[in-house]
């Protein structure tokens, strides 16, 4: 019997579980993992936890020197390679280099991203958040697919966000070429794209041993907020006038160690052996949004709709080919 999509299953973990707790008793020795953005914020915590569990972790980085410094400061001596998600030639070069002496990749964590940045465009004219958060990871994943298939049970985890609820895919103006750029709508659309990509990736390749999930990691203060002014974060209630995390945010937000837990649960949990293509939060499969949904939880239908997921795959293929 096919499992009902977006039905929570009860993992035994929760919002405040840490990545280390999720991986207790899990041995990843001999497994190869690629973690984009794995040297900062929750990406670094993901890398640390995977490495501690025995995995060989490769970290692509737009700034390799910074990546090496951050990993060394965390006591990790890992392979890092240059890769800029907004530059597809760089993505191709990374994929060719990382697979040169390997025939399997067991885990791909599409974690890197940018948020609410000023209007910026790629060389192809693509809006930067969509280009970086979605298109770059789309191309990377496709380049690594043969190696994921060879693993005989690989998992791909795509970092989405609650912000997906800000925007479905803007089918007639994805790159804000007809209408004024709005940074949060652009970010929300890119996070919807991340969830739809996981849905379609899983549909296409689960029969060949590649499962995919998307993840809302939770509210976490990390370098992802670097484009936000203090006044804006105060207005949103994230910090107080002194620049400290506000009391309401303290109750709601997670630490980076807690923020990586759902990613690691999706990457490793045996409870998900018969699942796939779903959007997860707080170490469980999220429910679909309803009138009863809490403000900061659950997933919109548009982010897990299989027809829209298939359409996005097709449209992204066209962009990449034309670009």
Residue 210, strand partner residues: 154
Dihedral, CA of residue 281, residue 282, residue 286 and residue 287, to nearest 10 = -140
DSSP 159-181: E--GGGGG----TT-TTSSSS--
Could you tell me which of 109, 74, 67 has the C-alpha nearest to residue 223? 67
Tokens representing 269? 């949990």
CA distance 42 to 47: 9
DSSP 88-140: HHHHHHHHHHHTTT-S---EEEE-----SPPS-B-TTS-BHHHIIIIIHHHHH
Query: Where do we find the tokens 């994805």?
Result: 174
CA distance 282 to 32: 25
Instruction: State CA 173 to chain mean position distance.
Output: 23
First CA to last CA across the chain, in angstroms? 42
For the stretch 156-170, what's the b/e string if a residue is b when 16 or more beta carbons lie within 10 angstroms of its beta carbon? bbbbbbbbbbbbbbb
Tokens representing 14? 């929760």
CA distance 133 to 193: 8
Compute and round to an integer the Cα radius of gyration of the chain.
18
- Residues serving a catalytic function are 187
Query: Where do we find the tokens 């996005």?
Result: 312
């Amino acid at each position: 019997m096919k499992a009902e999509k977006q039905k929570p299953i009860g993992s035994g973990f929760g919002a405040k579980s840490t990545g280390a707790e999720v991986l207790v008793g899990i041995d990843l020795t001999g497994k190869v993992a690629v973690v984009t953005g794995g040297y900062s914020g929750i990406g670094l915590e993901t890398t640390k936890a995977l490495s501690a569990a025995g995995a060989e972790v490769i970290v692509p980085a737009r700034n390799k020197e910074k990546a090496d410094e951050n990993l060394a400061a965390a006591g990790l001596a890992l392979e890092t390679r240059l890769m800029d998600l907004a530059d597809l030639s760089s993505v191709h070069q990374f994929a060719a280099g990382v697979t040169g002496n390997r025939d399997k990749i067991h885990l791909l964590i599409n974690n890197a991203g940018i948020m609410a940045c000023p209007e910026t465009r790629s060389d192809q004219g693509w809006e930067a958040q969509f280009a970086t958060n979605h298109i770059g990871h789309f191309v990377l994943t496709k380049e690594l697919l043969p190696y994921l298939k060879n693993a005989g049970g690989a998992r791909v985890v795509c970092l989405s966000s609650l912000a997906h609820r800000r925007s479905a895919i803007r089918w007639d103006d994805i790159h804000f070429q007809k209408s004024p750029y709005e940074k949060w709508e652009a970010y929300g659309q890119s996070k919807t794209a991340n969830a739809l990509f996981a849905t379609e990736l899983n549909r296409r390749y689960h029969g060949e041993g590649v499962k995919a999930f998307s993840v809302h990691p939770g509210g976490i203060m990390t370098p992802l907020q670097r484009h936000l002014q203090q006044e804006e974060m105060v207005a949103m209630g994230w910090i107080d006038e002194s620049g400290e995390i506000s009391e309401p945010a303290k109750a709601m937000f997670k630490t980076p160690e807690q923020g990586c837990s759902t990613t690691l649960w999706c990457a490793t949990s045996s409870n998900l052996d018969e699942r796939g293509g779903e959007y997860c939060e707080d170490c469980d499969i999220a429910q679909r949004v309803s009138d009863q949904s809490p403000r900061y939880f659950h997933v919109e239908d548009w982010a897990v709709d299989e027809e829209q997921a298939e359409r996005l795959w097709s449209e992204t293929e066209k962009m990449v080919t034309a670009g």
